Structure 1
Amino acid sequence: MRYPILLLPIGAALLSLGCTSVQVEPLAQADAVVCIEKNPKVMVSDFVPVLQDGFARHGITALVYDGQPPADCRYQVTYDARRSWDMAPYLSTAEITVRGPSRELVGHAEYHLRAKGGLSMMKWQGTKAKMDPVIDELLAGTRVAAAPTVAPPRSVVQPATRETAGLSRDEQIQALQLENLDYVEYQRRYQQILQNTAP
């Protein structure tokens, strides 16, 4: 009967190795639109969608670009995410960096599973469950600047095309993000969707 008693502190010690470490430098302010630089080395397939959803919860649209950043996008976001393996892959380390108009560091967040999660069952949580609290801490106090006012073109653009008619607001925004528009045109179309669709 002594063996189970001896194993209790050992098991507790092993579980404690799986503690999560989170370090955040909150983002004080940002524009209503930021740009995320695509990182092809990241193999966590849902990391960018989770990141975009996190920014959207705080009133910020996050566009993804590959290569040179858009000239009109003043706030740029970079990220890194690594997986570990224990019967199945899981997110063990992630980093989010935000740089401002002069490319100065204005926000930063790190997520890390100590000892790759140890024996904790929490290590198999999904990307969203792990990163949402980190993103919320990064953006909770962010002051969001109003989107720039863009004069509409002379030709009138209809609120919905045949392709977008009947789609929800979120579906129209997702379709818009796939068009690879420049910053000004994206903002104009984005504001138009917000004005002509229900949440």
Structure 2
Amino acid sequence: MIKKTAAIAVLAAGVTGCSIQQNVDTAHIEQGTTLCVIENMDVRPGFLSAFKTALQTKGVQYRLVNAAAIPANCQWTASYTARWSWDLALYMSYAEIQIHKDGTLQGKALYDSTRGGANMGKFIDAETKVNELVEALLNIKTAALFYRFYG
């Protein structure tokens, strides 16, 4: 009986260690705001492509800027990082997008499957995941115009 209980405890500990984390703290930006996306040359180009597509789908105006020379008129900035891992196939194991206003963190999206272990849910389509993260991360405030005129 003790061996059976110990085996179940070890199995339970192993399964809980195979978790995928996703956390999003939403950033609230005004409609019409231009987001300066700080290009990260250490990340696969496909991530940036998916990020730009997600921003376009969300209706966010953006421009790419170099990390070494961020223009002074970039009030809102987005930085990102992502990593890919190999386990039977190549997959995006980590992604983080941060939104700042005047250097202060306004929102953050994190996807982390680095502890995914045997969890097959880690084999996601990176483009779909980036779109999901951006959708949850950015809340575009449009009500301000309504209240200004009808409020």
In 2, Cα distance between the equivalents of 1:144 and 1:79?
Answer: 25
> What is aligned with 2:134?
135
Structure 2 residues not aligned, in runs of 5+ = 1-6, 144-151
CA RMSD of aligned residues (A): 2.8
Contact 1:26 1:142 in 2 (8 A): no
Q: Deviations over 1:140-175 (max 9, x none)?
A: x32169xxxxxxxxxxxxxxxxxxxxxxxxxxxxxx
- Does structure 1 residue 23 correspond to structure 2 residue 33? no
Identity %: 26
- State the Cα distance separating 1:104 from its structure 2 match: 1.2
Opposite residue 69 of structure 1, the aligned amino acid is I
Q: Deviations over 1:50-77 (max 9, x none)?
A: 1112222221022212231233332111
Distance 1:109 1:77, change over 3 A: same
SS at match of 2:108: strand
Taking structure 1 as the reference length, the TM-score comes to: 0.58
> What is aligned with 1:36?
37
Greater strand proportion:
2
SS at match of 1:28: strand
Distance 1:144 1:18, change over 3 A: farther
The alignment of Structure 1 onto Structure 2 pairs a total of residues equal to 136
In 2, Cα distance between the equivalents of 1:57 and 1:12?
Answer: 41
Taking structure 2 as the reference length, the TM-score comes to: 0.74
Structure 1 residues not aligned, in runs of 5+ = 1-6, 146-199
5 Å matches for 1:20-99?
A: 20-30=20-30, 31-42=32-43, 44-66=44-66, 67-99=68-100
Opposite residue 62 of structure 1, the aligned amino acid is Y
Q: Which has the higher contact order (CA 8 A, sep 6+)?
A: 2
In 2, Cα distance between the equivalents of 1:126 and 1:10?
Answer: 31
